[in-house]
Amino acid sequence: MVSWPLEILKAIGLAAVIFTFLAVVAAMFGVLLERKIGGWIQSRLGPKHVGPQGLFQTLADTLKLLQKEHIQPRAADRAIFNAAPLIVAVAGLMSWVVIPFGTLGERVLVVRDLNIGIVFFAGMASMTVIGILAGGWSSNNKYSLLGGLRSASQMVSYELPLGMALVAVAMEAGTLSTVGIVRAQDGWFGSFVFRQFPAFVIFLIAATAEVNRVPFDLPEAESELVAGYFSEYTGMRFALFQLGEYGEMFAMAAMTATLFFGGWKGPILPPLVWFLLKMYVVVFFLMWVRWTYPRYRLDQLLNLSWKVLLPAGLVWILITGYRITF
């Protein structure tokens, strides 16, 4: 039988480990990378003065955010206003439970190899919407509410193509477990980026939209909505929203690496290095897109999801089913 106190202790320990990993690798390093790459693409230098080559810029920003006063609008709904950033951060954190980082001898480095891995992942991605919507509404600010509503319509629309791509991959691999999916990919041409190329394209577009990044960043379009759903948030609560967002983005990149690039697999280098390398390639791609393309309009955004990606996903599932069966 399972020993419950031990399991709970293990869970708490792993939660602390993932949180630290996320806060350091995803949020802090991610923000720095974002600004450095943004600077490079726009022929600027980016952050440069704090630490060697501006390496400690995000650390300084975080310390600044930690000291800031927590301001709450008088007409805000107190409980929901305070809970919303937590929902976003926890959902972003939970996505990492099913992501396999690599192998150590015979053991796979994954918090839990759930046999419903990718269903769990999609579920956690959809929980983020609730935090955003709750934050947008409870701020009692029209720009926040508009940002929240935009984000809800966008994320609900793009969850479907995302799910379609996941279904196609699960059909090809014959399992919903992330570890199983990595094991099902052998060699360069066995990875699903070749065998499931349409699913890869659909997943990448839908994932970009799910994490509210340019060209799909309407929920926080700063030129129209101040800052969207987190306009009223200050200090650490704002930082939690950012953490959740970057955590989610890195989780999407890690999931892309796991589902389509063969996860930790690769020659010579250790598995963990391969995994991080593949993840950062996807992260770089997302940042490259962000600093290159303008924002979509809301109707274009919804048309792309419902009229292009969804039918394409359905057709691809049909083709995959045919290929597997016959």
Partner 1 sequence: MGQLAAFIVLSIVTLAAAVVVVGSGNIVRSALSLIPTFLGITGIYILLQAEFVAGIQVLIYAGAITVLILFVIMLTEHGSGVRFRQVNEQVPLGMIVAGALAAFLIATFVTTAWPTSSGALPQYTASGVGTTFMTNMVLVFEATSLVLLVALIGAIVIARRER
25 and 254 Cβ atoms separated by less than 8 Å: no
Per rule CB under 8 A, count of chain residues that contact partner 1:
31
Of 54, 88, 143, 159, the one binding partner 1 (CB under 8 A) is: 159
Q: How far is CA 125 from CA 17, 30, 129, 247, in A?
A: 20, 19, 8, 11
96 and 157 Cβ atoms separated by less than 8 Å: no
Sole window of 119-127, 181-189, 277-285, 318-326 interacting with partner 1 (rule: CB under 8 A): 119-127
Of 81, 96, 120, 250, the one binding partner 1 (CB under 8 A) is: 120
Q: Note whether 133 binds partner 1 by CB under 8 A.
A: yes
Sole window of 108-116, 201-209, 210-218, 272-280 interacting with partner 1 (rule: CB under 8 A): 108-116
Q: Which is nearer to partner 1, 45 or 116 (CB)?
A: 116
SS (H, E, C) 137-189: HHCCCHHHHHHHHHHHHHHHHHHHHHHHHHHHHHHHHCCCCHHHHHHCCCHHH
Shortest CB 5 distance to partner 1, Å: 8
Q: Note whether 82 binds partner 1 by CB under 8 A.
A: no
Residue numbers 182-201 binding partner 1 by CB under 8 A: none
Of 152, 201, 227, 289, the one binding partner 1 (CB under 8 A) is: 152
Of 116, 277, 318, 319, the one binding partner 1 (CB under 8 A) is: 116
Q: Note whether 119 binds partner 1 by CB under 8 A.
A: yes
Q: Which is nearer to partner 1, 108 or 124 (CB)?
A: 124
Q: How far is CA 203 from CA 67, 248, 305, in A?
A: 39, 14, 12
Shortest CB 170 distance to partner 1, Å: 8
Q: Which is nearer to partner 1, 145 or 251 (CB)?
A: 145
Q: Note whether 80 binds partner 1 by CB under 8 A.
A: yes
Q: Which is nearer to partner 1, 102 or 136 (CB)?
A: 136
Of 53, 72, 82, 153, the one binding partner 1 (CB under 8 A) is: 153
Shortest CB 245 distance to partner 1, Å: 17
Q: Which is nearer to partner 1, 115 or 300 (CB)?
A: 115
Q: Note whether 158 binds partner 1 by CB under 8 A.
A: no
Q: Which is nearer to partner 1, 32 or 167 (CB)?
A: 167
Return residues touching partner 1 (CB under 8 A): 2, 4, 77, 79-80, 114-116, 119-120, 122-124, 126-127, 129-130, 133-134, 137-138, 145, 148-149, 152-153, 155-156, 159, 163, 176
